[in-house]
Structure 1
Amino acid sequence: MTTQQIDKQAREAFRNATSLRLAGTISSDGQQLEVDLALDALGSCNGAVGNSLGIMHIIKSGPLVYVKAQDDFWRATFSREMTAEQTEAMVALFAGRWVKPPRLMSATAGRMCNRLGSLTEALSPASGGNPTREADAVVGGRPVAVLAERTTTETTTVYIAKEGKPYILKATVTGGNEPADVTFSDYNKPVDTTPPPPDQILDPTKLR
């Protein structure tokens, strides 16, 4: 196949996928994120996102959002407006619990899923550029065709399955201000959005 044919088929397969899982590192707004997240086309997600504050687990289904984070994440969050004693009391309350956030925080956490979905699209060959064919490689034991697209500041490289559906199995961005290195899997696999058990959920709107 020509480079253009591979590019076209990969874009179509990627666009038509109903869900996928991405894992690796992505830079956004000057911040590096460690992600391991299953996403679907409806905006649902299940997985974990980590930054300098720690790791936050998230389950989102429609407007319903549940999050669970490490102690350091909650400590950094509460210490902005509370004394050290109050902060530790809140950390103890939130530790190990799923939280059903208030509306504003739910919207913020929900946008994380949508934003990562947008970043995923940006890593596909759908940028409309003119990629070049690089030497074939292997990702996770599967042979892949490698396409690279270069600008004056960065290079986006995608690794496309040569067998079965031409799905992107890996993408990297080097140079520029937002480097990335992610793998893709579980295409079209339903995202598990089962809520946590009720006795593990904390409703912070009822706290004083």
Structure 2
Amino acid sequence: MTVISHGRTRRAALMSAICALVVMGTGFTGCSAPDPDEGTNGVGKLPAETIQKRTRTAAKSAASVRLSGTVVSNGATYTLDMRLRAGGGSGSVTSKNGTFQLLRVDEHLYLKADAEFWDQQDGKEDGGSPAAVANTLDGKYVKVPTGDPAYKRFSGFTDKDMLLDGLLTLHGTLATDGHHEQSGVRTIRVSGDNGSGGTLDVSLEGTPYPLRLVRAGNAGTLRLSDWGKDFALSEPPKEQTVDYGQQLPSS
């Protein structure tokens, strides 16, 4: 796909150069630049509001997606690399406390991290020392109780529809902002308030999936890929799982 797209770009540049030479040499004015929407899915010719509706519909109907990049939420910055589908998701999250793995299968949410991550908690929940708790949980899938604050905070990172509903919203007056390219795929960019309300690159090839999102207010940049590609999602082995009870160690 990258080769094809780059080929189109080179051909377009060549045609523009030829046209410029013809115009300068002969005064002929009938030569025009190639249509940037030629051979596309056509959404580049639509109003910005319609493009946003089309891409939100496409994202919601897709069976799965991979989401990677940064998100700023409640003053905290998270670096995500998550694969999401109906019924859950899995992947890694990096915060100021370190990197941890998230896995959700239906309503069961698990958090997996190393001893260094868990060593930041205070050890009061089970009366043990921080080091003892950290060694117990090191490399284990810790089941997060639904009533624990961590469940509400992190389960959203594994919920495809909820996450995309919150992310794929541009603020302010919408407008198209030219043709671009993401990972070799031609896109049309939609912006809110000239970019201050965020920008969204929408695929011009095949289904109009969102491919890149720059959130308003410097709240992060995300790439969206692997649309519709299935992946395995199952409960972790029991021998690798720890059920910590009613509340996780604070961290």
Give the TM-score normalised by the residue count of structure 1. 0.81
Q: Where does residue 162 of structure 1 map in the other structure?
A: 204
Question: Could you give the per-residue CA deviations for residues 95-123 of structure 1, whole angstroms, max 9, x where no partner exists?
Answer: 12222234434743434434x75343233
Q: Which runs of 5+ in 1 are unaligned?
A: none
Amino acid at match of 2:75: G
Question: Could you give the per-residue CA deviations for residues 112-168 of structure 1, whole angstroms, max 9, x where no partner exists?
Answer: 434x7534323325x5854211121111111111111128x9331001111100000
Q: Where does residue 103 of structure 2 map in the other structure?
A: 59
Alignment of 1:174-189 (within 5 A): 174=216, 176=217, 179-189=219-229
- CA change 1:148–1:91 in 2 (3 A) is same
Amino acid at match of 1:49: V
Deviation at 1:55? 1.4
Q: Take 1:102 and 1:7, find their aligned partners in 2: how far apart are those partners?
A: 37
Amino acid at match of 1:148: S
Alignment of 1:58-77 (within 5 A): 58-76=102-120
Give the TM-score normalised by the residue count of structure 2. 0.68
Q: Where does residue 166 of structure 2 map in the other structure?
A: 122
Q: Take 2:141 and 2:233, find their aligned partners in 1: how far apart are those partners?
A: 14
Alignment of 1:24-63 (within 5 A): 24-42=69-87, 44-63=88-107
Matched, 1:148 2:191: yes
Matched, 1:97 2:140: yes
Given that 1:46 and 1:192 are in contact with CA atoms closer than 8 Å, whether structure 2 keeps it comes out as no
Q: Where does residue 62 of structure 2 map in the other structure?
A: 17
Q: Choose between structure 1 and 2: higher strand proportion.
A: 1
Q: Where does residue 237 of structure 2 map in the other structure?
A: 197
Residue 86 of structure 1 is aligned with which of 86, 106, 129? 129
Residue 113 of structure 1 is aligned with which of 145, 153, 158? 158
Q: Take 2:167 and 2:107, find their aligned partners in 1: how far apart are those partners?
A: 26
Q: Which has the larger radius of gyration?
A: 2
Deviation at 1:205? 3.6
Q: CA RMSD in A?
A: 2.8
Percent identity over paired residues: 23
Q: Where does residue 12 of structure 2 map in the other structure?
A: none
Deviation at 1:80? 6.5
- CA change 1:63–1:173 in 2 (3 A) is closer
Given that 2:114 and 2:137 are in contact with CA atoms closer than 8 Å, whether structure 1 keeps it comes out as no
Deviation at 1:28? 0.6
Q: Take 1:56 and 1:89, find their aligned partners in 2: how far apart are those partners?
A: 19
Deviation at 1:188? 2.4
How many residue pairs align between the two structures?
A: 198
Given that 2:108 and 2:144 are in contact with CA atoms closer than 8 Å, whether structure 1 keeps it comes out as no
- CA change 1:185–1:112 in 2 (3 A) is closer
Given that 2:123 and 2:129 are in contact with CA atoms closer than 8 Å, whether structure 1 keeps it comes out as no
Q: Which runs of 5+ in 2 are unaligned?
A: 1-44, 247-251
Deviation at 1:89? 1.2
Q: Take 1:137 and 1:80, find their aligned partners in 2: how far apart are those partners?
A: 51
- CA change 1:111–1:119 in 2 (3 A) is closer
